[in-house]
Amino acid sequence: MTSLASKTPSSVRGGLLDLNQLWRSLPQALAKLDPRALWRNPVMFIVEVGSVFTTVLALTDPSVLAWIITVWLWLTVVFANLAEAVAEGRGKAQAAALRAAKQDTMAYLEDGREIAATELKQGDVVVVEAGQVIPGDGDVIEGIASVDESAITGESAPVIRESGGDRSAVTGGTKVLSDRIVVRITQKPGESFVDRMIALVEGANRQKTPNEIALNILLAALTIIFLLSVVTLQPLAIFSKAYQAAAPDTIAINAHGVTGIVLVSLIVCLIPTTIGALLSAIGIAGMDRLVQRNVLAMSGRAVEAAGDVNTLLLDKTGTITLGNRQASEFVPVDGVSASELADAAQLSSLADETPEGRSIVVLAKNEFGLREREPGLMTDATFVPFTAQTRMSGVDIEPSLQSGEGRAVGAVAGGRQIRKGAAGAVIKWVGHSSDEVSEIVDGISASGGTPLVVAEKGRILGVIHLKDVVKSGMRARFDEMRKMGIRTVMITGDNPRTAAAIAAEAGVDDFLAEATPEDKLALIKKEQEGGRLVAMTGDGTNDAPALAQADVGVAMNTGTSAAKEAGNMVDLDSDPTKLIEIVEIGKQLLITRGALTTFSIANDIAKYFAIIPAIFAAVYPGLDALNVMRLHSPGSAILSAVIFNALVIVALIPLALRGVRYRPSSASALLRRNLWIYGLGGVIVPFLGIKLIDLIIQFIPGI
């Protein structure tokens, strides 16, 4: 399977960076120097104001050191903009791939008129035949067709779209390969699914998430605190100079106090410029990682909420289990032979096109040599379809009907009435039960299987054992969720005994059996009342209320338009298990943000030890003890700190885009890891980096 990411250049897919990518993003980074755009990032806006100030000072009182510091301060702003530009550039590359998939198409209305696809309105009905492109988003209301959705999902294998059910939604820009369908347009003009995808992956509609806003407020507060702290240094320096007249003048302090360039350098190095520069890129990259996995997040808030999820609601079929329940055994009651039960089960399943129904027909043929009979040739048979209300299906056969072999299959006077289905429904249809039947049903349910009771005209013949297999590795993944404090709940329409057996085998924390749409909605509300965030998947119209209620609602792309509108994420691959990946990506986003915030604040400590002693050691010789790095001179100390402050932003761009490696663990374990790796590392790395830069620049004249 290929994905949307496969259409994107390799240089923008991974977390690694290359020079070409930086070069392509540079014009956008320079455009972001516009103060009207930069003021939304208060930390970097202060750096830009400081850069303008030092530029003026360098022009009025030029020196080598002043100009070098000024250049590096401007580079600090450009590098910060570059981080955001690179992140947005990745989205633009994906958007370009989507635009290439769009084309000017014509729409053929049901009344025979032909109009441009852009003129379609919500509610219009169009006809699409083999070889034509579907002109807009909508639901199939008539027909069935094979559709090529590779332009959207990257998946080359065609999919089936048909009227009714949960696979009726079609997307504009996809192509019908066979047959003919009638589609009712559900999109508003200019708001197609592809148009929304393009806007979202470009970042045009990306709004800051609550956590991001809160962190911005924290960074702004820290910036104000450091501004006030640095401002107080000027009167302190003037006072110190007055009483230390014998001290030699330095680049740091002159007769008028601390030089303006040094003050600006100190502010830039002490405020949290690193995380301030990377914060926006981290958020954009989080949405980008979802797009690479063919998941479209309708907002950054949804990605962030995924990282804070406390409860996961997972469908059993297709998510926890393989979803292809197969008939494995016919269990007759006393007085009924296995072949008689198999014959009745096969007859009741001839018109059942579900995988379970077909497996019953095949098992009867393989185990008992019963030839499969064609339902179309059984003109005297009336097939009873399965409904959610009756919870059973079957067949009514006239007594005169003969099989293809000439053998009477309607030997019972008055014909045969055969039903198969849920135990409760069939027992109610028969009107009585027995301890033997209950024992068989309970035994199959307890083993994790699904029992289907077969009855004929007032008597129960036996039970069909359907098996569903739990996907390998699910228990380990649920154990990981549990380590993170996430509670998993399996949703199934099975009876409680079957649900309990599957839940125990898979390792989920709880289950909801015989679930209805109302039950799902009630469960979500109950979880949310306790202050927990809930995530779930769905694809049908009946899932829409629950998807809308959930904090993270992942709709399947194969599902109905109602489901996709209700959810805040759409999985283009329609893989229910991807919900677990989405939660992991959300966790990775929050972990990355926390790790880089820790690093940014920690490395300010090292820069403090580099600059403060350099400024005041001349007038307060005792401060020289704090010059633990033994930097060459006050000028080289200040310049080294400024250069390191700029370069560390570029060095951390790949980590911000790729994300910190995700390992399932508790919040306390994550905190310890952050403090040890990014806290301690944030202190040590600047000491080494600043000292190395000092060794290089000490030979520059005038430093």
Topology match between the domains 308-320+471-572 and 330-398+415-468: no
Lowest mean pLDDT among 136-145, 384-393, 396-405, 470-479: 396-405
Per-residue pLDDT, averaged over 401-413, amounts to 41
Residue 436 has pLDDT above 80, yes or no: yes
Per-residue pLDDT, averaged over 107-122, amounts to 83
Per-residue pLDDT, averaged over 381-407, amounts to 68
pLDDT tens-digit readout, 16-69: 455 676 777 788 888 888 888 788 888 889 999 999 999 998 888 888 888 998
In angstroms, what CA-CA distances link 429 with 289, 412, 455, 456, 497?
A: 53, 19, 9, 10, 22
Would you state the pLDDT for residue 461? Answer: 92
539 is known to lie in a ligand binding site: yes
What is the number of alpha carbons within 13 Å of residue 100 lying toward its C-beta?
12
390 is known to lie in a ligand binding site: yes
Fold observed for domain 330-398+415-468? Calcium-transporting ATPase, cytoplasmic domain N (3.40.1110)
Rg (CA), the chain: 34
pLDDT tens-digit readout, 336-360: 898 899 988 888 888 777 777 888 8
Distance of CA 611 to the CA centre of its chain: 43
In angstroms, what CA-CA distances link 60 with 22, 364, 455?
A: 34, 96, 99
What is the phi/psi pair of residue 362, to 5°? -65, -40
pLDDT band at 644 (very low <50, low <70, confident <90, very high): very high
- Transcribe 249-311 into DSSP letters: P-SSEETTEE-HHHHHHHHHHHS-HHHHHHHHHHHHHHHHHHHHTTEEES-HHHHHHHHT--E
Residue 448 has pLDDT above 80, yes or no: no
Measure the CA–CA gap between 197 and 153, rounded to whole angstroms. Answer: 12
388 is known to lie in a ligand binding site: yes
Q: Point out which residues pair with 396 in neighbouring strands.
A: 382, 417
* Other beta carbons within 10 Å of 504: 12
Would you state the pLDDT for residue 412? Answer: 40
Residue 402 has pLDDT above 60, yes or no: no
In angstroms, what CA-CA distances link 29 with 86, 538, 625?
A: 9, 40, 41
pLDDT tens-digit readout, 546-573: 888 888 888 887 777 777 778 888 887 7
Helices (H), 61-192: 64-101, 150-153
- Transcribe 184-246 into DSSP letters: EE-SPTT--HHHHHHHHHTTTT----HHHHHHHHHHHHHHHHHHHHHHTHHHHHHHHHHT-TT
Q: Which CATH class is domain 308-320+471-572?
A: alpha beta
Distance of CA 603 to the CA centre of its chain: 32
Q: What is the mean pLDDT of the chain?
A: 78
- Which parts of 299-430 are beta strand (E)? 311-315, 326-332, 381-384, 392-397, 416-421
Segment holding 169, helix H or strand E: strand 169-170
356 is known to lie in a ligand binding site: yes
What is the phi/psi pair of residue 258, to 5°? -70, 135
Active site residue 315: yes
* Other beta carbons within 10 Å of 508: 23
124 is known to lie in a ligand binding site: no
Measure the CA–CA gap between 149 and 573, rounded to whole angstroms. Answer: 10
Of 613, 656, 607, the C-alpha closest to 632 is 613
Would you state the pLDDT for residue 647? Answer: 92
Would you state the pLDDT for residue 151? Answer: 61
207 is known to lie in a ligand binding site: no
308 is known to lie in a ligand binding site: no
Q: Which CATH class is domain 105-202?
A: mainly beta
What percentage of the chain carries pLDDT values higher than 70?
A: 80
Of 427, 468, 464, 463, the C-alpha closest to 447 is 468
Q: Point out which residues pair with 178 in neighbouring strands.
A: 146
Measure the CA–CA gap between 166 and 559, rounded to whole angstroms. Answer: 5
Q: What angle separates helix 273-292 from helix 578-616, to the nearest 10 degrees?
A: 160
Most confident of 148-157, 298-307, 311-320, 689-698: 689-698
**Of 139, 315, 573, 694, catalytic:** 315
352 is known to lie in a ligand binding site: yes
Per-residue pLDDT, averaged over 310-317, amounts to 84
**Domain residue extents for the chain:** 19-89+207-289+585-685, 105-202, 308-320+471-572, 330-398+415-468
Report the Cα–Cα distance between both ends of the chain, in Å, rounded: 58
Residue 210 has pLDDT above 80, yes or no: no
Residue 462 has pLDDT above 90, yes or no: yes
3-class DSSP state for residue 155? coil
392 is known to lie in a ligand binding site: yes
373, burial (CB in 10 Å: exposed 0-12, middle 13-18, buried 19+): middle
| Residue tagged 């219009």 (tokens) | 124
pLDDT tens-digit readout, 481-537: 888 788 899 888 777 877 888 888 888 999 988 888 788 888 999 888 878 889 988
3 is known to lie in a ligand binding site: no
Of 337, 289, 367, the C-alpha closest to 591 is 289
Would you state the pLDDT for residue 136? Answer: 83
pLDDT tens-digit readout, 221-248: 888 888 887 777 767 666 665 444 333 3
Would you state the pLDDT for residue 301? Answer: 76
- 26 residue type, one letter: L
